[in-house]
Amino acid sequence: MKKVIATQNERLDEIVYREYKRLQDVFEKVLDANKHLTGKVTLDLGDIVYLPVITLVKTQAKDDELW
């Protein structure tokens, strides 16, 4: 599990997006790994954020046929 040290007033969603390039399907898993940060709007300098290994599955978008 990777660790990131937050800067002053950084938000958890900013870190998650920077590291995983998405929030959907990822943010809640990161929040589960960081119960100590629950309820914080912004992080303090030095807060440790644990980033679990998350395997993302790419799905191919299906085009709807009109005819």
Indicate whether 63 belongs to any domain: no
Domain of 6 in residue numbering reads as 2-51
pLDDT of residue 35: 97
Give the Cα separation of 37 and 54 in Å (integer).
19
pLDDT of residue 13: 97
Q: How distant, in Å, are the alpha carbons of 7, 9, 22, 66, 67 from that of 49?
A: 11, 13, 16, 47, 50
Domains: count for the chain: 1
pLDDT of residue 61: 65
Indicate whether 22 belongs to any domain: yes
Q: Which residues of the chain have pLDDT under 50?
A: none
Indicate whether 16 belongs to any domain: yes
Indicate whether 26 belongs to any domain: yes
